[in-house]
Amino acid sequence: MKLAMIGSGYVGLVSGACFADFGHQVVCVDKDDKKISDLNRNIMPIYEPGLADLVKRNVDAERLSFSTDLAASIKDCDAIFIAVGTPSRRGDGHADLSYVYAASEEIADSIGKRTVVITKSTVPVGTGDEVQHIIEKKQPRDRFAVVSNPEFLREGAAIRDFKRPDRIVIGTEDAWAKEVMTEIYRPLFLNESPILFTGRRTAELTKYAANAFLATKITFINEIADLCEKVGADVQEVARGIGLDNRIGSKFLHAGPGYGGSCFPKDTLALIKTAQDNDSPIRIVEAVVQVNDQRKRAMGRKVIHALDGDVRDKRVALLGLTFKPNTDDMRDAPSIAIAQTLIDAGAIVSAYDPEGMESAKELMPDVAMTDSSYTAATDADAVVIVTEWDAFRALDLEKLAQVMNGNILVDLRNIYNPAEVAQSSLVYSSVGRLR
């Protein structure tokens, strides 16, 4: 089938490349001339493992192309995906739908045949209704159908998630649109990936509900970690004890400095706003957002506490800046608040991240970026593991201690065994554990 992906950011690029790998003819469209020029030279705008090879393979096979000309790109398409950004709107936290609606206007002007228009972007309930209203101002109702098809991709594992999904949620009650969507996803259906057909509004809400629930699990175990430190329990053992219950599950029960990234922060805020607008507030999610925001700075204070409550003129090295490993995404990363808390208290902060330092430079101008873990740690009074990159899981602890000025290791991701660190000359502090 011939598909267009409007928006060549994280969701659009990964989805478009994967659809092309299934054998579809895909064009990814974006208004950013530089981005499209770079993609045509196989320069990726994001870091995602395996993406550059996937894109090159499908470009070479002439199944994937890139363009800035939306009208020409969508004219003969069987399906058009809207995968533009929906950032939090300044002032009220609601999703900014201006890019979605602008794309819908252009689609309405350029449809050349009967076409399915799919919102892949994360959008509040009712957005599909408005997209349909925009298009039907210029196109006969029988010329198109509007479908909701939310994405559930994890940064750092997006290609695997797309090709081996837990589920595919498709929101439509149009029989013809169901046939088209089934054909688009046929390779996954043959792999027995479940396709859940729902109403369009149900699909839109499903995406927000999923992310809010996962954010709640993260925040819950983080608060349990704080309690563990007070009562002398081990949060990792608590998490294992409850995670073995199939009704709960073990995923997203890893204590740490709080969630960040492109999805959870903005999606929880958007869900809260939608609930308030419909006079059905979601108090649990409101508390999750508040607790998570407070936690990030609290982790900075944890580092200060490890240094006996005073970091003025002391050096602190942060290992890991991105909100999670295997991405260069710095959006709402806990490291930003942690670094600022330390700087506000008078600390001198250095950092190293395998992929995120270019993005971090603008967000953290007062942090000295370095070229390795050990360079960051040189002369530091404390080293803080903020992101659980594989590169930090097997550090030479004695070498680390030798280059440091002090001997404090604060592990905010619990990637080290306290007994192992005890064999070195470092003093270890972790989250929700006895040490």
Rounded mean pLDDT for each run of 10 residues along the chain, 435 residues in total: 96 98 97 96 94 97 97 95 92 89 96 95 96 96 96 94 95 97 91 90 97 98 97 97 97 97 94 96 98 97 97 98 96 97 98 95 96 98 98 95 97 95 94 86
Q: Is the dihedral of CA 121, 329, 43, 367 positive or negative?
A: positive
Q: Spell out the residues 6+ positions from residue 360 whose beta carbon is closer than 8 angstroms to its own.
A: 321, 322, 330, 335, 351, 353, 367, 369
What dotted CATH number matches 2-198? 3.40.50.720
What's the angle, vertex CA 228, arms to CA 227 and CA 233, rounded to 5?
A: 150
> What is the per-residue pLDDT for 160?
95
Report the phi/psi class of residue 165: left, alpha or beta, with left for phi > 0 and alpha for psi in -120 to 50: beta
Residue 435 has a pLDDT of: 67
Domain spans in the chain, listed from the N-terminal domain onward: 2-198, 200-435
- Main-chain dihedrals φ then ψ at residue 214, nearest 5 degrees: -65, -40
81: β partners: 5, 118
Helices (DSSP H) in 43-117: which residue ranges? 51-60, 70-74, 98-110
The two tokens of residue 2 are 């011939």
Q: In this predicted structure, what is the pLDDT of residue 94?
A: 86
Question: Residue 77: its pLDDT value, please?
Answer: 96
pTM for this model (two decimals): 0.93
Task: Give the number of other Cβ atoms within 10 Å of residue 372's Cβ.
Answer: 12
Q: Which two tokens stand for residue 375?
A: 């360079």
Token pair of 27 as six digits: 């064009």
- What pLDDT is recorded for position 411? 98
Q: Is 244 helix (H, G, I), strand (E, B) or coil?
A: coil
- Report whether 70 contacts 6 (CB < 8 A): yes
| Residues classed as catalytic | 263
Cα–Cα distance for residue pair 115/7, rounded to 1 Å? 18
State the pLDDT at residue 346. 98
* Class in CATH terms, 200-435: alpha beta
Q: In 42-139, at which residue ranges do the beta strands (DSSP E only) sit?
A: 64-67, 79-82, 115-119
Rounded to whole angstroms, the Cα distance separating 125 from 128 reads: 8
Q: Are 117 and 82 in contact (CB under 8 A)?
A: yes
Maximum pairwise Cα distance, the chain: 74
The reported pLDDT for the residue numbered 274 is 95
